[in-house]
A = this chain, B = another copy of it.
Amino acid sequence: MAEPDSDSSTTCSSTTAITPSSPAVGYSRNVDPQDLVVSAQRRQKHVDAVLDRFFSLAKNRASAIGPRYLTLWQTLEKNTAGGKRFRPGMVMGAYESLGGTDFEAAAHVGAAFELLHTALIVHDDVIDRDFIRRGGVNVSGVYRDIAQTAGIPIPAAEHRGLSVAVIAGDLALFNAYRLIDRSGVGELMRSRLHDIFDEAMFASAAGELLDVDFSQLKSMPTVEEVVDMERLKTAVYSFESPVEAGAVLAGASDEAVRALAGFGRNIGIAYQIVDDLLGVFGDEAATGKTTIGDLREGKRTVLIAYASGRPEWIEISRWLGLPDLTWEQAAVVRRSLEDCGARHYAEELAREFANRAAEELASDALPDRARAEFEPIIETVLGRVR
């Protein structure tokens, strides 16, 4: 139920930009960027190994049932592979920077968040009727194509694709939980991690519900409502819960856990607002994200919620949501969004949340190593605002 397809390409590409790991992260105050790159590559390898083992096991079980089921698991695995493992990176970054040394346990918890992410985007694509993600066919797309090849016409073939995607998402969701069970931690720790994971899922479902309402109901949400939806739908399970889980797993103090969770919550919101900005004013070449998709979709973003109260709205609303919006018309909408101050407002709001994140990260309860680990994310988010 995570980020809409339009986001996902950002998540994908901008992950490159904002993972602590990434070479794209230029400088950081307390650490040699090269160290971040190395540790991130090690983490990613570790998480990939956990997921490889999980899928090999599942594929063995599936092939005992039949070739069709094996194909479904192979498709699910393909849809889990290829990401930058951003969420596991958050888990392991928090864990290691707070002194954790059981990398295997951390990799399992990271993998659990990655599989949760897969489940949420697979079902989000069902809800958005998307058959493409990251430039390739998603689970729905694969099964739609299989059906068409078998001679089933659209829209029946599309429905078959979406049907199988419902099943695939259920399998990923259900097994995400299991990966925490397999982390090998003691009962009390497992129960704390399950609670955090539960909170992430609980929030994400609430955010997806609000997103469905915003996109399908006529009334325009307020800026506050949009921010809340973005926090619930994506920021909690992508930022706040992963760092919280990593900190708890490291045995950090309650104060340290609270501070790092607060950092995650605020930087996650800032990230989503920047995502809204890049969806309209971004540099497609740099972000890999279209700057006309959100406008054609009429997506309820912070920009749109702000603008809807302004005189320029009369002009904007003429074009917003036209599936065949031209680049000329999009340019008019962009200009109006600037004129009414929506762009400036969103940029300020993103900065405000990024600054709150920085304040949390400055907590005495956190070691410098945690700041070294996560400051680059703040730098990058701010760096992406004009």
Across the interface, name the chain B residue whose C-beta is closest to A208: B167
Interface string of A49-76 (1 = CB under 8 A from B): 0000000000001100110110010000
Interface range on chain A: under 10, 10 to 19, 20 to 34, or 35 or more? 35 or more
Q: Is the CB of B170 within 8 A of A209?
A: no
Name the distance in Å between A322's Cβ and chain B's nearest Cβ.
17
Q: Is the CB of A1 within 8 A of B170?
A: yes
Q: Is the CB of A209 within 8 A of B72?
A: yes
**Interface: A202 (CB within 8 A):** yes
* Residues in chain B near residue A166, CB distance under 8 A: 1, 123, 126-127, 166, 169
- Alpha-carbon distance between A72 and B232 when the two chains are bound, in angstroms: 15
Name the distance in Å between A207's Cβ and chain B's nearest Cβ.
9
Interface string of A192-215 (1 = CB under 8 A from B): 001000100111011011101100
A167 with B65: in contact, given A174-B201, A181-B194 (CB under 8 Å)?
no
Name the distance in Å between A229's Cβ and chain B's nearest Cβ.
10
**Interface: A365 (CB within 8 A):** no
Q: Is the CB of A167 within 8 A of B209?
A: yes
Q: Is the CB of B151 within 8 A of A209?
A: no
Which A residues between 146 and 204 are near B, CB-CB below 8 angstroms?
147, 150-152, 156, 159-160, 163-164, 166-167, 169-171, 173-175, 177-178, 181, 187, 191, 194, 198, 201-203
* Residues in chain B near residue A62, CB distance under 8 A: 206
User: Which A positions have Cβ atoms within 8 angstroms of B?
Assistant: 1, 61-62, 65-66, 68-69, 72, 119, 123, 126-127, 129, 147, 150-152, 156, 159-160, 163-164, 166-167, 169-171, 173-175, 177-178, 181, 187, 191, 194, 198, 201-203, 205-206, 208-210, 212-213, 216-218, 232
* Sample (10) of A-B pairs whose CB atoms are under 8 Å apart: A1-B166, A61-B202, A62-B206, A65-B206, A68-B209, A69-B209, A151-B218, A171-B205, A174-B177, A181-B194
